[in-house]
Structure 1
Amino acid sequence: MAHYRASEPKREQFRRYLEKSGVLDSITSVLVALYEENDKPNNALDFIKLHLGSAGPEPADVDALRMEMADLQQKCNLLVEENNELKNRLMQYEPSPEDGAAE
């Protein structure tokens, strides 16, 4: 019995950790969703895995995607600038369709 009491603070600390990190809320919401399903899935574990995994990408994935997005945004801006520059150069050598129609 003494061993049980010695581990009680550890259990309580772990429970608070799970609460603070949002694990208990996530698991509870998935279990509630499973309970409320009209057509219960054949494999409840797959249902839980699927719905727990839908929380979003891993933070490392998010950081990688942000870096890729910033890189692609920079490339896009460079291409827009190049496009505008080429349009201006083209206008020097070819009259616009409006100018040809006015003559």
Structure 2
Amino acid sequence: MAHYRAPDSKREQFRRYLEKTGVVDSLTSVLVALYEQPERPTNALEFVQQHLCAAAQTLADAEALQQEVNDLRQRCARLVEENKDLKTKLQQYEPASEDGATAD
């Protein structure tokens, strides 16, 4: 009986792995897209490959854009801090106006 449970256990682990990594979702969406085609493509395998590559590229693009957003946020925070420091330094060299406000 142990021989029958081991493959089931491995199969279940593999299924969870595929779900966790998004493979099941990707395959499902590609197969749904194929099903919803008004005319069946002559080469279904090529259709699946193209759509999987497009999905992978979209994911890579999204990751690259997310990294760019993070980089730009860090740069913006540095520039805000630098601007604040420069304004502080500038106030040391500019005399206060007569009404008590400083020039910006």
TM-score for both structures, normalised by structure 1 = 0.53
Gaps of at least 5 residues in structure 1 are: 67-103
1:46 matched to which residue of 2? 46
Alpha-carbon separation, structure 1, partners of 2:56 and 2:3: 40
Gaps of at least 5 residues in structure 2 are: 68-104
1:83 matched to which residue of 2? none
SS in 1 for 2:3: helix
Query: C-alpha offsets along residues 47-94 of structure 1, whole Å, 9 cap, x if unaligned?
Result: 00000000243999999xx8xxxxxxxxxxxxxxxxxxxxxxxxxxxx
1:8 is displaced (CA, Å) by 1.0
User: Following superposition of structure 1 onto structure 2, how do residues 1-80 of structure 1 map, counting pairs within 5 Å?
Assistant: 2-57=2-57
1:2 is displaced (CA, Å) by 4.0
Alpha-carbon separation, structure 1, partners of 2:51 and 2:60: 20
Alpha-carbon separation, structure 1, partners of 2:10 and 2:43: 33
* Number of aligned residue pairs: 68
Alpha-carbon separation, structure 1, partners of 2:9 and 2:17: 12
Note closer, same or farther for the CA distance 1:43–1:20 as it changes in structure 2 (3 Å cut): same
Alpha-carbon separation, structure 1, partners of 2:7 and 2:17: 15
Alpha-carbon separation, structure 1, partners of 2:38 and 2:10: 39
Identity of aligned residues (%): 62
Q: CA RMSD, aligned part only?
A: 2.9
1:45 is displaced (CA, Å) by 0.1
Greater RCO between the two (CA within 8 Å, min separation 6)? 1
1:31 is displaced (CA, Å) by 0.3
Note closer, same or farther for the CA distance 1:62–1:32 as it changes in structure 2 (3 Å cut): closer
